[in-house]
Structure 1
Amino acid sequence: MTTDVLIEHRRDIADLQQRIKNRRLQVFGLFCTPIALIFALLVWAVLKVLFWLHADTPSAINGILFGVAAFLGIAVVVQLMAEFSEDLDVWRDRNISVRELKLKLSLAEERHILEARRRTPPPMDRQASYKERLPGEITRLRRESRHYRRVHLLMQWLLFVGSAAISAVTAWYDPPQPAKGVLIGLGFMVTVITAAAGYFKPRERSFNLQQTADNIEQHATALELGIAPYNAIDDVQNLELFATTVESLRADQRMREQQLDQPQQGQQQVI
């Protein structure tokens, strides 16, 4: 029952979060579509006054602007009907403000916290549940590691190709005036990629993520097999040590990410 109740609270929170996103889009459309329609009509009128005051406006211009205005007009009518018509039940939260939905979300999160506090399982159950969530965390770390590794490899290949192309184009054209634009573009690409690789450090991020994933998986395997350092007789002690170790590894990973995000300091320490 505890699990079902907490899952139901999480579903309510996720549903309210999605409803807030949808309602924001609806309100954005209600306000911005009429403004866009008025702007399109003003553009049509300004073009007529400035360029074709004493002549007929080209049919292509009239057709494009008429199509845009008609589309926006239909969109305005449809949105107003969906918002204010009692017969249409298209929008779930019509006539409800985003502020009211945020209040409902805040109350739902508060109920979830109070219910979770009242139904909190014992530490051993929480630690066992924590262990079961780790495969997803390991998968996430390795997925991000592969992403940064691909970014790093793509940057390196672009650098290789760009550098080789600069030399090839320079050697092929003599004088190099016909290829001046190509050389400028290739040089710009090499400079930008070099600066981006030095700033974002995808290789270091990939290495750190993969190392953290491997370390967590190593400890999870040791706990599963009951080998050191998780070979104590008491399972509670093993789970507590495991949770502490994994959280320490994750904290180290976050610290390394923060260090990579900080700019390099070129100052030297004076001893």
Structure 2
Amino acid sequence: MSVTTKELVKHRREVADLQQRIKNRRLQVMGLYGTPIAALLTALAWPGLKIFFWLNANMPSAINYTLCGLLLFLVVATAAQVAAEFFLDPSPWRDDETPVKDLKLDLELAEEQRILEARRLTPPAPERQASYKERVPGEIARLRRESRHYRRVHLFMQWILFISSAAISAVTAWYDPPQPAKGVLIALGFTVTVITAAAGYFKPRERAFNLQQTADNMEQHATALDLGIAPYTEIDDKLNLASFATTVEALRAEQRMREQQLDQPQQGQQEVI
């Protein structure tokens, strides 16, 4: 690995580490302040339930035990977080007593330094294009993975629609009059309506098809480049790499445009088309 690559990787790791530290610190702060608030609300809810529901009777033991256990857990969690934040040395928390805004500032400075170093150490265009070619298989795998995800979501929605629609007819035919199954019919009708609306809004089938099509096109061009067949038949590999990078970026831009069109309402899609 060249010195240039090592420096760029070092800066990328520093940026990624700061991003993860910011996420961890946000969770720590949320727990530090949210846990005692939850304990206080639990303590207030206990007598509130007694007053509103069991004023002249004893509260069920199960509710008492549940609230007691929850309150005990929240108190212990609060004490542990306060100790980790202010009293333990060394603290199990990496950024104890560090505001999130300070970490964000460090991240901005690290990203700025990475940009400056990348500008100073940027390799020539042919090397960047060769590196880009090696990243394409990972992009193809990501597109296929997302395509499979949306395809599964679409199939799951369709099966729910099939089962719910069939169940509505079955329950209606089984009960005559349908009053005993009114709740079941309402639930099934609600499920069918929600799934139909969600499928029409999120369009998982169309997203899966677009992602799969883009992945197939990118894989076709990558294979053509490796085999040296049309449209990458130039003698100079630099020209082939430049043409390949241009084509793949055009495919990715077309995929992003399709995603934007799917996110627009039907009337907006017609106007775009």
Q: TM-score, normalised by structure 1?
A: 0.89
Task: Show the counterpart of 2:218.
Answer: 216
Q: 1:163 corresponds to which residue?
A: 165
| CA displacement at 1:49 relative to structure 2 | 6.6
Which residue is 2:70 aligned to? 68
* Cα distance in structure 1, aligned partners of 2:248 and 2:8: 25
Q: Give distance in 1, aligned partners of 2:135 and 2:44.
A: 57
Q: 1:8 aligns with which of 2, 7, 10?
A: 10
In 2, are the aligned partners of 1:222 and 1:229 still within 8 Å (CA)?
yes
Match status 1:79 vs 2:81: yes
8 Å CA contact 1:81, 1:88 repeated in 2: no
Paired with 1:169 and 1:100, the residues of 2 have a C-alpha distance of 61
Structure 2 unaligned residues grouped into runs of 5+: none
Structure 2 contact 262–269 (Cα < 8 Å) conserved: no
For residues 53 and 195 of structure 1, do their structure 2 counterparts lie closer, same or farther at Cα, with a shift above 3 Å needed? closer
Q: Are 1:20 and 2:22 counterparts?
A: yes
| 1:16-165 aligned within 5 A | 16-46=18-48, 63-85=65-87, 87-165=89-167
Match of 2:198 among 196, 199, 206: 196
Deviates more, 1:1-10 or 1:183-192: 183-192
Mean Cα deviation higher: 83-92 or 250-259: 83-92
Distance 1:18 1:72, change over 3 A: same
Give the CA deviation at 1:113.
0.7
Give the count of matched residue pairs: 269
- CA positional deviation for 1:77: 2.2
> Percent of counterpart pairs with the same letter?
72
Question: 2:30 is matched by which residue type in structure 1?
Answer: F
Residues 104-124 of structure 1, C-alpha deviations (whole Å, 9 max, x = no match): 111111111111110000000
* Unaligned residue ranges in structure 1 (runs of 5+): none
- Deviation larger for 13-22 or 39-48: 39-48
Instruction: Show the counterpart of 1:172.
Output: 174
Match of 1:254 among 233, 253, 256: 256
How far did residue 250 of structure 1 move?
0.8
The one-letter amino acid paired with 1:178 is: P
Which has the higher Rg, Structure 1 or Structure 2? 1
Distance 2:223 2:238 in 1: 17
- 1:244 equivalent in structure 2: 246
Relative distance call for 1:129 and 1:264 in structure 2 (3 A) is same
Q: Tell me how far 1:53 sits from its aligned partner.
A: 8.3
Question: What residue identity is the alignment partner of 1:245?
Answer: T
Query: Equivalents in 1 of 2:175, 2:60: separation in Å?
Result: 47
Indicate how the Cα distance of structure 1 residues 267 and 145 shifts in structure 2: closer, same or farther if over 3 A, else same: closer
Structure 1 residues 69 and 138: alpha-carbon distance in aligned structure 2, compared to 1, 3 A threshold: same
Q: CA 1:231–1:31 in structure 2 vs 1: closer, same or farther (change >3 Å)?
A: same
> In the superposition, relative to structure 1, how do residues 266 and 86 fare at CA in structure 2: closer, same or farther (>3 Å)?
closer
Contact 1:6/1:112 (CA < 8 Å) preserved in 2?
Answer: yes
Measure the CA separation in 1 of the matches of 2:129 and 2:143.
21
Moved more, 151-160 or 259-268: 259-268
Which amino acid counterpart does residue 146 of structure 1 have in structure 2? R
**Structure 1: which amino acid aligns with 2:45?**
V
Opposite residue 174 of structure 1, the aligned amino acid is D
> What per-residue deviation string (whole Å, max 9, x for no partner) do you get for residues 38-87 of structure 1?
33333345556777889987766554444333332222222222122253
